[in-house]
Amino acid sequence: MAHSGHWPTCATSQYASAAGRANPDTGEGRAVHDVLDPDSDRGRVYRSLVGHPREPVGRLAARTGLGETAVRAVLKELAAADIVMTTDAGGGEESWEALPPTQVVEALLQRDAALWTALRQAGTELEKLYRFARRDAGHYGALEVVEDAARVLAVSRQLQQSACHQLRTIDVPPYSGTVDHYLGQEVLQRERMAAGVVYRTIYHGSAFDDPIAGPNMARMIEAGEQARTLDDPPMKLAIVDSELAVVTLAADDHPGVVSLLVRPSSLFRALSNVFESLWRLAVPVSATGIGTQIDARDRQILTLMASGATDDAIARRLGMGRRTVVRRVSVLLARLGATTRFQAGVQAGRRGWL
């Protein structure tokens, strides 16, 4: 395929990177994902209804410390998501009731599963495009196919060197690089992060078990990389700013891989959206607490957490001291990379811990 081979640079880029700097955790897809977080407005309203059924708006506002207008807006969102419902308080006054927390968690998990299905369909369409491009690449000017193994590795390095603001990556097995390759990658990534480039990476759930790639990933997270994990990401992808995306796939007719270079286009925007959707689904990780085993007592604690139980309630139910429960909950949050109890419950469900 004929192409200029030009790589974007910070000085010559004609595309703004505002989208790259945008907060990845915004959007309607996360509108009610914090409903069990007691520090959020939705969490305060929902938790109040869990403990005080059939509450009118006025009493909800008083209990939560929110204005009635804010409470009504939250209730409208939660009702649309089938998390709360209206009831008759008598005397013509409208009141509200919470749906069971376990039902809420299950509904959110089902929505995430539906999103996974849609993303995999997008991956299937991308595979069709790849095969079409190999037959007659000239029909899609934004796409370039790179098949030479040495150049595939060079593309990864050029991608990082050309980044001005951020590099978004989905990293999936197999990890074929040598120890020297990963050490060189570490040096380059540290240089680029020191220059202000933000690295956001989604790792495969098994990444930290790899004897060569795993230690590299842990060190990069300690150095400041923003990292999340998913059990089974659908593709290997890298996106530099708003300029270039690289999809790496197994070759059809020979050993090794090929890379698809995708420049700004509708396909580029689709790949960017896929990354952001997966980022919202993924769970943050740290370089510690990566184990995959859980004992029966922690499983009980997680199950109660997912149902909305407080530390005091968990301690009473399991016959444990409150301080012990607080300590074990803190450890579980760290192991799951979760920042809220609700997120811990969802991620534990995805891992089959519940």
Q: What is the pLDDT of residues 66-88, one digit of tens each?
A: 999 999 999 998 888 888 898 87
Decide which of 192 and 4 is more confident: 192
Instruction: For residue 27, name the pLDDT band (cuts at 50, 70, 90).
Output: very low
Q: What gap in Å lies between CA 319 and CA 300, rounded to an integer? A: 12
Beta-carbon neighbour count of residue 222 at 10 Å?
Answer: 11
Using N-to-C axis directions, what is the helix angle for 322-336 and 296-306, rounded to 10°? Answer: 90
When comparing pLDDT for 185 and 253, which is higher?
Answer: 185
- On whether the CB atoms of residues 227 and 203 are closer than 8 A, the answer is yes
Lowest mean pLDDT among 107-121, 147-161, 281-295: 281-295
Arithmetic mean of pLDDT, 11-19: 37
For the segment 171-202, what is each residue's pLDDT rounded down to a tens digit?
Answer: 887 766 677 777 888 898 999 999 999 999 99
| Better-predicted residue by pLDDT, 247 or 120 | 247
Percentage of the chain exceeding pLDDT 70 = 78
Show the DSSP H helices in the chain as ranges.
Answer: 18-21, 41-51, 57-64, 68-80, 101-135, 149-162, 179-194, 213-222, 266-281, 296-306, 311-318, 322-336, 341-350
For residues 235-262, average pLDDT:
84
- For residue 330, give the nearest of 342, 341, 319, 321 by alpha carbon: 341
- Asked if 244 contacts 262 with a C-beta cutoff of 8 angstroms, the reply is yes
With contact defined as beta carbons under 8 Å apart, do 68 and 61 qualify?
A: yes
Predicted pLDDT of residue 345: 73
For residue 4, what pLDDT is reported? 41
pTM (predicted TM-score): 0.50
What is the predicted pLDDT for the residue at 182?
A: 76
Largest CA distance in the chain: 77
Range among 12-16, 20-24, 50-54 with highest mean pLDDT value: 50-54
Q: Which residues of 293-317 are buried (b: 16+ CB within 10 A; e: fewer)?
A: ebeeebeebbbbbbbbbbbeebbee
Query: What does the block give as tokens for 9?
Result: 């640079």
Supply the mean pLDDT for the chain. 78
- Which pLDDT does position 134 carry in this prediction? 62
Task: Quickly state the pLDDT bin for 133 (edges 50, 70, 90).
Answer: low
The token duo for 179 is 């120890």
Which is nearest to 169 in space by CA: 125, 132, 204?
204
For residues 7-30, give the mean pLDDT.
41
pLDDT confidence of residue 279: 87
Angstrom distance (rounded) from CA 195 to CA 57? 51
Distance of CA 169 to the CA centre of its chain: 12
Q: pLDDT tens-digit profile of 259-305?
A: 888 888 888 999 999 999 888 877 776 544 444 567 888 888 888 88
DSSP 277: H
Tell me the pLDDT band of 62, cut-offs 50, 70 and 90: very high
Percentage of the chain lying above the pLDDT 90 cut: 15
Please give the Cα distance from 247 to 259 (Å, whole number).
Answer: 6
* pLDDT band for position 338 (cuts 50, 70, 90): confident
Q: Indicate the pLDDT class of residue 22, thresholds 50, 70 and 90.
A: very low
Q: Which residue has the higher pLDDT, 225 or 130?
A: 225
